[in-house]
């Protein structure tokens, strides 16, 4: 019984890691795409100010 229980726990743990990994990758991807867009917007603002 203990082996089956620990196996189920391991599967839950692996699913949790996979979910966290997917969220981190998605967050990094959105940050990366935003960081490409932001400098263009800021340079336009600075050009308007100066």
pLDDT digits (tens, 9 = 90+) for 28-50: 888 877 765 555 555 665 566 55
Record the pTM.
0.51
- pLDDT recorded at residue 21: 94
Q: 2 to each of 7, 8, 9, 30, 34, how far by Cα in Å?
A: 8, 10, 10, 42, 48
Distance CA 43, CA 31 (A): 18
Q: How confident is the model at residue 1 (pLDDT cuts 50, 70, 90)?
A: low
Convert the pLDDT of each residue in 7-18 to its tens digit. Answer: 889 999 999 999
- The DSSP line for 1-50 is -HHHHHHHHHHHHHHHHHHHHHHHHHHHHHHHHHHHHHHHHHHHHHHHH-
Cα 45 to chain center, whole Å?
29
**For residues 49 and 27, which has the higher predicted lDDT (pLDDT)?**
27
């Amino acid at each position: 019984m203990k082996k089956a229980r620990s196996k189920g726990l391991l599967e839950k743990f692996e699913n949790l890691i996979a979910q966290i990994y997917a969220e981190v990758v998605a967050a990094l991807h959105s940050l990366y795409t935003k960081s490409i867009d932001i400098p263009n917007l800021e340079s336009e603002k600075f050009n308007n100010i100066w």
